[in-house]
Amino acid sequence: MTHGWREFMQRCLYRAECREGCGPAAFLGSQVELLNERMDWLGISWLSIFQDGQGLFLYYECSGKEAQPEQLFPGALEILKVWPGGEYPRMWVPMMDIFHYQQPVSGQHWKRNQIPGAPYGRLAVLKPEQVSSYVYYHYQYQEERPGDGDKYGIIGLHENLLFFYSELPATVEPAPYKGKLTTNLRPEQWGEVMEPHFIKWKNVEPDQEIWKKLTPVLTITLPQRGKGE
């Protein structure tokens, strides 16, 4: 990460798995007041949670040192499974940022409009042997054409599962920086090149065979506290 405002602005994506028979809606609904307090304490300005079956997907933006989800949801053990691995028991596993249309460079740049977009989440599964190819193409796209899509759009990867966070309506505007690549190799027939990378979903609407829509569960926003406003 380069020096500057982004040193204390983190975009975080995580996934979790609910225990059998436990629904997250009631638990999370009871946590709203506590979440507001903890978000303010941890410097988190924007938080969204989505659901797919027993899976939960979390996106948030924080200033300062990266906050951990366990700090936000201290009582979540009653509804979430513990993931193996790591130095301590964890209920949320991080998803790696493998693509974003823009990266924040200042508080003013990242500030949303008076009527911010509605959080929108989607889920896809890559063929294991196609993960490296997918990452390669997306890094190329990201660095050749920054600002080419929704400003807040970002894709996280864990194992071969993709979580795409974005906002509707999309905010499309030029990025205030140049990408790291000066090439122009992004395939023009993007959809045709991407389709072979995916394991398609079954028993879904035709337009969701690759990217399945997630159910929004909770969104909380607070005034941004970052420096460099």
**Residue 228 lies inside a defined structural domain of this protein:** no
**Residue 226 lies inside a defined structural domain of this protein:** no
For residue 59, pLDDT over 60 is answered with: yes
pLDDT tens-digit readout, 78-126: 899 999 887 777 899 999 999 999 999 988 899 888 788 899 999 999 9
* Backbone φ, ψ for residue 85 (5° rounding): 90, 170
Containing structural domain, residue 99: 5-221
Confidence of residue 23 (pLDDT cuts 50, 70, 90): confident
pLDDT tens-digit readout, 165-199: 999 999 999 999 999 999 999 999 999 999 999 99
**Residue 117 lies inside a defined structural domain of this protein:** yes
Confidence of residue 226 (pLDDT cuts 50, 70, 90): very low
**Residue 159 lies inside a defined structural domain of this protein:** yes
The number of domains in the chain is 1
In CATH, what number is assigned to the domain containing residue 114?
3.30.70
Confidence of residue 228 (pLDDT cuts 50, 70, 90): very low
**Residue 167 lies inside a defined structural domain of this protein:** yes
